[in-house]
Structure 1
Amino acid sequence: MSITADNPTTTQSTTLRDARVPQGGMYEGVRVLRPFPEGWEERPYEHIEVTPQTSVIGAEIRGADLSRPLALAVREEINRALLEWKVLFFRGANLSPEQQAAFARHWGELETNPLLARGASDEIVRFEKGAAGSRPTYENVWHTDVTFRERPAMGAVLQLREVPPIGGHTMWADMAAAYDNLPDEVKQRIDGAVAVHDFIPGFDRFTPREKLLELQDQFPPVQHPVVRTHPESGRKMLFVNTSFTTHIVGMDRDESDRLLAFLTRQAHVPEYQVRFAWQPGDIAFWDNRATQHYALFDYAGQRRVAERVAVVGDRPF
């Protein structure tokens, strides 16, 4: 049919053109966002105030004095909040290193980490970046702490001692939400899969070779499930990360790399994330079994000082 000024009608195509997008992409649409496992009993909090920061991850906690030993009922409610919201924020706690470590010990034995700078004791790790000579490190990448251990940390308690005037925030991602929203065919593909974790990929760009050689026998590669089950909530979670997961057992390198690239990208989805703007003396306590985190290095030329203690965890299953 011709088109003229007197006859503006056009012919509508009856065939939709091919518009393929690359396989393994992430697409817009509704996402499953639930903070609790199926069947979880929601109960009111009687001893602390819990204020969620997003739909699935992050809550600010008020009403608990972290500088003193916790009453059993308070400890139990903080633990329930941790299971529900994965990372908890305590504003203005201003704990001494000894008090910070004592708070973390309510959840178990504290680990030491010879790869990181020591604080006031062997259990305290100190992250210190000064205005002069600051450089990027392993912090500003999505990762789960120490998955290269047979028993990765159960959780970590981080306090900011000094905060830059702008920037220096930390983000956490909910890896249970990341698992929930995987395509069914991907879930089937990774069901029962095992991946290798190694400390060297995450540290070799920032650690002298002599130090790596000294520690590689102490930290041999380990295998963990690609999807781990939370030992307390029973929820399934993705358990691979860019820093330490090297490959999936039984797959050729190209196939493993493609699948890991897709799985690790899940942490980048904003609906699964919470972002925290620090003030000096603030505490974050996160469930390392259920999250990844990313410390932004957007404050070059400014000073940021943080101290962290970590609780020894269980072997993933």
Structure 2
Amino acid sequence: MTSFKHITVNPVAGALGAEVSDFHLGDVNEDAFQEVRVAFLEHQVLFFRDQEITRDQQKAFGSRFGTLQIHPFLQPLKNEGHPEFILLYSNAQSPYLAENWHSDVTFVQEPPLGSVLRCVEAPEFGGDTMWASTYAAYDALSDKMQRMLSDLVAVHDTVRSFSRPSYDTAGTGRQPPPVMSAEHPVVRTHPETGRKGLFVNTTFTSHIKDMKPAESTALLSFLYHHMTTPDFSCRFRWRPNSVAMWDNRCTQHRVVADNKTANRRMERITINGDRPY
């Protein structure tokens, strides 16, 4: 494990995840930032506490990793001058979003590099987020399974998410958004670390190309179950002004929907990535 001079990094689980202290996202020293980059690639998801930052500061921090994505469907703060932000909120009237394991926006040709999520309001208990390492999931497979998966391509689309008939159109007379889709390798090579990880998820992956439906369903079901093995995961309890930053190229995540009546509000920016190979 790398040692650092300008920040403190404490792992939270064996597979992935580390809490970073002695670092403030709104006042970034270049030497400290370069260590954060190293920690990000090493631990896959980083957690920062007590980050009282503005939206502009959050965007400025994310922009140091790459250009920011404007989501093709979700731009709730566009009229406030922040089209890059996505809001994740829930309360007694609005159910949790993102309860299923997923990587973000894999239905585009160049899925995100990662995201920076800040907690604005957290429940007294519950509403944690979990992450899983797709590196660890891949490494745990047999050599024969790894070889079989190496040539497979999966189709990712919005049929079951943003383009489903019931998505935010009930009673409005609006048509659901058109379907977006992309093809990606089932096993992805990380462009910076060179490590391999599984790149399918329950929310956006439709099927494995050139397989019969029953074959695709059986294989994907195995992979989905395998990737949620507890040994590959970590869990984070939110407090206001906590921030999580994760590598979308080698992780999946989900919210734990265990306190559905409490108020919970998160604000997320997403960093553009490259085409998986």
Verify same fold: TM over 0.5: yes
Match of 2:185 among 208, 215, 225: 225
Measure the CA separation in 2 of the matches of 1:295 and 1:307: 14
The residue aligned with 2:231 is 271
Shift of the alpha carbon at 1:227? 0.3
Contact 1:200 1:212 in 2 (8 A): no
Q: Does 1:127 align with 2:85?
A: no
The residue aligned with 2:243 is 283
Q: Any idea what SS the aligned residue of 2:160 has?
A: helix
Contact 1:66 1:93 in 2 (8 A): yes
Q: Does 1:59 align with 2:24?
A: no
Matched residue type, 1:235 = R
Measure the CA separation in 1 of the matches of 2:91 and 2:100: 20
Q: Does 1:193 align with 2:113?
A: no
RMSD over aligned Cα atoms: 1.6
Contact 1:58 1:87 in 2 (8 A): yes
The residue aligned with 1:10 is none
Q: State the number of aligned residues.
A: 270
Contact 2:75 2:84 in 1 (8 A): no
The residue aligned with 1:25 is none
The residue aligned with 1:13 is none
The residue aligned with 1:21 is none
> Does the C-alpha gap of structure 1 residues 212 and 257 become closer, same or farther in structure 2, counting only changes over 3 Å?
farther
Q: Does 1:72 align with 2:33?
A: no
Measure the CA separation in 1 of the matches of 2:15 and 2:174: 39
Q: Any idea what SS the aligned residue of 2:26 has?
A: coil
Shift of the alpha carbon at 1:298? 1.5
Q: Does 1:172 align with 2:131?
A: yes
Q: Any idea what SS the aligned residue of 1:201 has?
A: coil
1:169-188 deviation digits (Å, cap 9, x = unpaired): 00000000000001222212
The residue aligned with 2:69 is 111
Shift of the alpha carbon at 1:102? 1.0
Shift of the alpha carbon at 1:44? 1.8
Q: Which stretch of structure 1 is more off in the superposition, 285-294 or 93-102? A: 93-102
Measure the CA separation in 1 of the matches of 2:8 and 2:199: 30
TM-score of the superposition, structure 1-length normalised? 0.81
Q: Any idea what SS the aligned residue of 2:252 has?
A: strand
Q: Does 1:257 align with 2:196?
A: no
> Does the C-alpha gap of structure 1 residues 148 and 212 become closer, same or farther in structure 2, counting only changes over 3 Å?
farther
Higher relative CO (Cα under 8 Å, sequence separation at least 6) belongs to 2
Matched residue type, 1:98 = D
The residue aligned with 2:48 is 90
Q: Which stretch of structure 1 is more off in the superposition, 109-118 or 299-308? A: 109-118
Measure the CA separation in 1 of the matches of 2:102 and 2:227: 9
1:132-211 mapped onto 2 (5 Å cutoff): 133-137=93-97, 139-203=98-162, 204=164, 205-208=166-169
> Does the C-alpha gap of structure 1 residues 80 and 253 become closer, same or farther in structure 2, counting only changes over 3 Å?
same
The residue aligned with 1:8 is none
Shift of the alpha carbon at 1:79? 1.0
Percent identical: 40
> Does the C-alpha gap of structure 1 residues 213 and 188 become closer, same or farther in structure 2, counting only changes over 3 Å?
same
Q: Any idea what SS the aligned residue of 2:161 has?
A: helix
Measure the CA separation in 1 of the matches of 2:116 and 2:207: 29
Larger Cα-atom Rg: 1
Matched residue type, 2:26 = S
Runs of 4+ residues over 4 Å off in structure 1: 209-213
Matched residue type, 1:187 = Q
Contact 2:17 2:43 in 1 (8 A): yes
Contact 1:195 1:223 in 2 (8 A): yes
TM-score of the superposition, structure 2-length normalised? 0.93
Contact 1:117 1:127 in 2 (8 A): no
Measure the CA separation in 1 of the matches of 2:13 and 2:24: 24
Shift of the alpha carbon at 1:212? 6.2
Shift of the alpha carbon at 1:211? 6.0
Unaligned runs of 5+ in 1: 1-41
Contact 1:168 1:277 in 2 (8 A): yes
